[in-house]
């Protein structure tokens, strides 16, 4: 019984990690590129912007990154976060 419960706990933890939002303040180009809707050039632009301007305070700050507009950001909002595992909400 303990093995079954342990297995279920690990399975659920794995699902949680798979569904976790990508932190745009810490993600690598490859991690960002893996997000549906962000290709290699946008991923690189996010990392370069972050290096130049410091950490993002919200996902809406992607407006300052070349290639991102309000519609793109709204589509990606559930996939991205700015830290602490919390998904950044629209203001």
Per-position pLDDT tens, the chain of length 91: 766 655 555 554 444 444 579 999 999 999 999 999 999 999 999 999 999 999 999 999 999 999 999 999 999 999 999 986 444 444 4
16 falls within a domain: no
9 falls within a domain: no
CA distances from 21 to 28, 57, 60, 85 (A): 14, 15, 15, 7
Cβ atoms within 10 Å of 49's Cβ, excluding its own:
18
CATH number of the structural domain spanning residue 62: 1.10.150.280
At residue 79's C-alpha, the angle toward residues 74 and 82, to 5°, is 90
Task: Provide the domain count of the chain.
Answer: 1
Q: What was the pLDDT predicted at 20?
A: 77
Helices (DSSP H) in 19-90: which residue ranges? 29-33, 40-53, 70-76
15 falls within a domain: no
Phi, psi of 46 (to 5 degrees): -65, -50
Is this model's pTM higher than 0.85 or not? Answer: no
36 falls within a domain: yes
Three-state SS string over 68-85 comes to CCHHHHHHHHHHEEEECC
């Amino acid at each position: 019984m303990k093995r079954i419960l342990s297995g279920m706990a690990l399975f659920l933890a794995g699902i949680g990690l798979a569904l976790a939002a990508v932190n745009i303040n810490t993600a690598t180009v490859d991690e960002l590129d893996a997000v549906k809707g962000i290709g290699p050039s946008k991923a690189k632009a996010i990392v370069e912007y972050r290096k130049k301007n410091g950490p993002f305070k919200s996902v809406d700050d992607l407006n300052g990154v070349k290639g991102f507009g309000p519609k793109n950001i709204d589509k990606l909002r559930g996939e991205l976060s700015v830290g602490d595992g919390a998904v950044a909400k629209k203001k």
